[in-house]
Amino acid sequence: MSESEVALLSRMWEEHMRAPFPPHMRGREIDGEDMVLLDADIAGCVVSSLSGPLDERRREILLVCLAAVEKVLPSIDDEDGASEYYKHLRDMAALAVELGNANARSR
C-alpha cells in the first residue's frame, strides 16, 4: 500500500464527510438495495481501512457493496447530486478494496 493511495483515500473520506446525503435517497430502495444502508456499509469499511488493513469480512462487504453500487447507479437520477454522491462512494470503496488487496499481497 502506498502512502499516496492512503492519502487519497483519506482525502476522499474527508470530501465524503462534507457532502450532504441526498435527501430524496432516505428511505429509498433501488433494485432491492437500501440506499442509506449501502452508504453506511461503505463508510464503515472505508473508516476501518484508514485505521489499518481490512479483515476478510470487511473486504467481502466492500466487494458486495461495489457490485450493488454498480447495479443501482444507472437508476439514480441526479436530483440533489445523488448520482455524484454514489459515484464518489463507489470510488472510495474501490480504492479501499485495492488497498486491502495490496496489504494481503505484502503479507
In this structure, are residues 100 and 53 in contact, taking their beta carbons and an 8 Å threshold? yes
- pLDDT at residue 79, rounded to an integer: 80
CA atoms of 83 and 102, how far apart (whole Å) = 29
Higher per-residue confidence, 99 vs 91: 91
1, pLDDT greater than 80: no
Over range 48-62, report the average pLDDT: 91
Higher per-residue confidence, 85 vs 55: 85
Q: Which domain holds residue 8?
A: 3-22+29-106
Over range 59-86, report the average pLDDT: 94
What are 33's strand-pairing partners?
30
The residue written with cell numbers 476522499 in the block is 12
105, pLDDT greater than 90: no
The total number of structural domains in the chain stands at: 1
